[in-house]
């Protein structure tokens, strides 16, 4: 059978390849440059009271998974002596540089993947996650890793948006999540945060749920969880 390329096919294939490369470059620019800046603004002054509540009680060495642009730094208690940061977005880390400089405590970037933490077992006093578990591809693994690195008596402080308890809203979250993921860096609207944390080997000490804005993307889970023996 002839393997000759039909007339004009090479031009079509070349155009398709260039189009695909342009699309990938556009997606990359959006996820690496635009989205981190959007998140920095969207999770700014409006959620400061929430940040203050979630950070209350932190002390010693704190691992923050999803450090982002350093929005939590100004509200850390004075008892915190060091922050170990996990952050995959280079742009977010660059935005954070000013806040790191003003923080007055050491901040060290230790990795980019919360699913594979490059620190020893039982090496931090607390783990902090704020609006990040929605985007981690393997959230169960990330929570297992968080449990692994916590010292005995350590706790997980969290605030996350997730699955609504109302069936009609939850059904829409399931429908929209595949599209939402493409727009917002892999973000899931429909994760049952409380159940995931418990499945990761934690005991929920305190938890509150509430809504910020439309429930579809604004059903919040906030609390503290302890490492199960």
**For 167-209, how does the pLDDT look when each residue is reduced to its tens digit (9 = 90+)?**
999 999 999 999 999 888 899 999 999 999 999 999 999 999 9
Determine the pLDDT at residue 54: 98
> Parallel, antiparallel, or unpaired: how do β-strands 107-111 and 124-130 relate?
unpaired
Judge whether 195 and 213 are in contact, CB under 8 Å: no
More confident residue, 221 or 6: 221
- pLDDT reading at 69 higher than 60: yes
Closest CA to 92 of 66, 68, 113, 111: 68
The Cα–Cα gap between 57 and 106 comes to 18
Q: What is the pLDDT of residues 18-49, one digit of tens each?
A: 444 444 344 465 567 677 777 778 778 999 99
Determine the pLDDT at residue 31: 65
The Cα–Cα gap between 175 and 178 comes to 7
Topology classification of domain 41-227:
Rossmann fold (3.40.50)
Cα–Cα distance list, 72 to 15, 67, 87, 129 (Å): 46, 8, 13, 10
Model's pTM, two decimal places?
A: 0.85
Domain boundaries, the chain: 41-227
Q: What is the pLDDT of residues 85-124, one digit of tens each?
A: 999 988 899 999 999 999 999 999 999 999 999 999 999 9
Determine the pLDDT at residue 21: 46
Stretch 69-85: mean pLDDT, rounded?
97
Determine the pLDDT at residue 228: 79
Cα–Cα distance list, 61 to 29, 93, 94, 159, 208 (Å): 34, 19, 22, 19, 25
């Amino acid at each position: 059978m002839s393997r000759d390329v039909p007339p004009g096919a090479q031009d079509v294939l070349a155009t398709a390849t260039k189009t695909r490369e342009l699309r990938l470059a556009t997606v990359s620019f959006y996820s690496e440059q635009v989205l981190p800046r959007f998140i920095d603004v969207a999770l700014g002054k409006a959620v400061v009271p929430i940040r203050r509540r979630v950070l209350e009680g932190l002390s010693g060495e704190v691992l923050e998974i999803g450090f982002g642009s350093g929005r939590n730094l100004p509200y850390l208690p004075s008892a915190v002596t060091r922050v170990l940061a996990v952050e995959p977005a280079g742009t977010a880390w660059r935005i954070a540089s000013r806040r790191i400089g003003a923080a007055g405590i050491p901040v060290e970037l230790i990795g980019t993947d919360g699913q594979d933490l490059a620190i020893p077992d039982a090496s931090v006093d607390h783990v902090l996650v704020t609006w990040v578990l929605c985007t981690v591809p393997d959230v169960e693994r990330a929570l297992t890793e968080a449990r692994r690195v916590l010292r005995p008596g350590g706790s997980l402080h969290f605030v996350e948006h997730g699955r609504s308890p109302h069936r009609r809203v939850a059904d829409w979250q399931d429908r929209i999540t595949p599209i939402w993921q493409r727009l917002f860096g892999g973000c899931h609207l429909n994760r049952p945060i409380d159940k995931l944390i418990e499945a990761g080997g934690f005991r929920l000490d305190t938890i509150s749920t509430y809504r910020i804005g439309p429930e579809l993307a604004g059903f919040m889970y906030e609390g503290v969880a302890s490492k199960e023996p």
